[in-house]
Protein backbone atom coordinates (compact mmCIF):
# COMPACT_ATOMS: atom_id res chain seq x y z
CA UNK A 1 0.00 0.00 0.00
CA UNK A 2 1.27 3.42 -0.89
CA UNK A 3 1.58 6.13 1.70
CA UNK A 4 1.59 9.89 1.31
CA UNK A 5 2.82 12.46 3.79
CA UNK A 6 1.22 15.78 4.56
CA UNK A 7 2.36 18.54 6.86
CA UNK A 8 0.99 21.73 8.28
CA UNK A 9 2.32 23.56 5.25
CA UNK A 10 -0.12 21.53 3.15
CA UNK A 11 -3.16 22.64 5.08
CA UNK A 12 -5.57 25.35 4.15
CA UNK A 13 -8.24 27.15 6.10
CA UNK A 14 -11.46 26.09 4.43
CA UNK A 15 -13.83 27.22 7.09
CA UNK A 16 -14.35 30.82 8.00
CA UNK A 17 -15.86 31.64 11.34
CA UNK A 18 -17.83 34.79 11.90
CA UNK A 19 -18.12 36.62 15.19
CA UNK A 20 -21.77 37.08 16.00
CA UNK A 21 -23.50 38.86 18.82
CA UNK A 22 -27.02 38.23 20.03
CA UNK A 23 -29.10 41.42 19.67
CA UNK A 24 -31.18 40.40 22.70
CA UNK A 25 -28.69 39.49 25.41
CA UNK A 26 -25.33 40.46 23.91
CA UNK A 27 -23.88 36.95 23.99
CA UNK A 28 -20.98 36.59 21.57
CA UNK A 29 -19.74 33.46 19.82
CA UNK A 30 -18.33 32.15 16.56
CA UNK A 31 -20.45 30.78 13.74
CA UNK A 32 -18.72 28.60 11.14
CA UNK A 33 -19.60 28.71 7.45
CA UNK A 34 -21.96 31.65 7.79
CA UNK A 35 -20.17 33.78 5.24
CA UNK A 36 -22.22 33.73 2.05
CA UNK A 37 -22.42 37.30 0.80
CA UNK A 38 -25.87 38.79 0.71
CA UNK A 39 -27.32 35.96 2.74
CA UNK A 40 -29.51 36.29 5.80
CA UNK A 41 -29.04 33.50 8.30
CA UNK A 42 -31.39 32.64 11.11
CA UNK A 43 -29.36 31.96 14.21
CA UNK A 44 -30.31 30.82 17.66
CA UNK A 45 -28.62 32.43 20.62
CA UNK A 46 -26.19 30.11 22.36
CA UNK A 47 -26.94 31.57 25.76
CA UNK A 48 -29.07 29.01 27.60
CA UNK A 49 -31.01 31.75 29.37
CA UNK A 50 -31.85 33.47 26.08
CA UNK A 51 -32.00 31.02 23.14
CA UNK A 52 -33.83 33.59 21.03
CA UNK A 53 -33.80 33.38 17.26
CA UNK A 54 -32.55 36.34 15.28
CA UNK A 55 -31.46 37.08 11.74
CA UNK A 56 -27.89 37.76 10.74
CA UNK A 57 -27.27 39.32 7.36
CA UNK A 58 -23.82 38.74 5.93
CA UNK A 59 -22.43 41.04 3.28
CA UNK A 60 -19.07 41.88 1.80
CA UNK A 61 -18.67 45.21 3.51
ZN1 LIG B 1 -29.23 35.97 23.41
| Residues with Cβ–ion distance below 5 A, ligand 1 | 22, 24-25, 27, 45, 47, 50
Which residues have CB under 8 Å from 22's CB, separation 6+? 28, 45, 46, 47, 50, 52, 54
What whole-number distance in Å separates Cα of residue 42 and Cα of residue 57?
9
pLDDT, tens only, 1-59: 999 999 989 888 788 889 999 999 999 999 998 988 999 999 999 999 999 999 999 99
Question: pTM of the prediction?
Answer: 0.73
What pLDDT does 45 receive? 97
What pLDDT does 60 receive? 83
Residue 57 alpha carbon to ligand 1 centre in Å: 17
Q: Where are the domains of the chain?
A: 37-61
Amino acid sequence: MKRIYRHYSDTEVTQLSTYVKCPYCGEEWLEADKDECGTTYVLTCENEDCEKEFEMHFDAS
